[in-house]
Structure 1
């Protein structure tokens, strides 16, 4: 099983989805967006949140690849933004090596 950093580094999506997520990450607000996506009151830690988001995103990617009528690109971008936002927050709060 891949560790979290490897999973994030190897996540490959179409350029348009990736670009849209990168544009939106500056406006990511954990308290608002993550709570809505995960539908929870108490927010999990960064690593746990990323794992949950990656599972949600994997399901969305399957719908995208299958050309499902249930696929919603805006929702997919929203989840990708949350993944990037959580990864940035996790890196920013990680202890720095001495």
Structure 2
């Protein structure tokens, strides 16, 4: 079983999708974005959110690769933005904090 960091590090997608997602990071609004994909109140922590987002992204990527005509690039980018942002939150929350006093 993979841990979250392995999923993050192993995720490989076309450059155009990744660049579009990076460009959209500044507009990420956690409650709004996550409510689209997981109507859970309150919004789950970054670890739980990431696992759900990875499942959704995998389904979206499978649809992209199948070339069935049902693929929605903007939705895929939106999910990638959420994954990138939640990954940043997870990393920030797990870093040791220095306390001066």
Q: Secondary structure at the match of 1:44?
A: coil
Q: How large is the RMSD of aligned CA atoms in angstroms?
A: 1.4
Deviation of the 1:81 alpha carbon: 0.2
* Distance across 1 between alignment mates of 2:71 and 2:63: 5
1:21-76 C-alpha deviation (Å, 9 max, x unpaired): 11111211111111122233321111010000000000000000001221100000
| 1:29-68 → structure 2 map (5 Å cutoff) | 29-68=29-68
Select the structure of larger CA radius of gyration. 2
| 1:71-86 → structure 2 map (5 Å cutoff) | 71-86=71-86
Structure 2: runs of 5 or more not aligned = none
Moved over 6 A (4+): none
Length-normalised TM-score, structure 2: 0.89
* Distance across 2 between alignment mates of 1:32 and 1:97: 28
Equivalenced residue count is: 98
* Distance across 1 between alignment mates of 2:67 and 2:79: 18
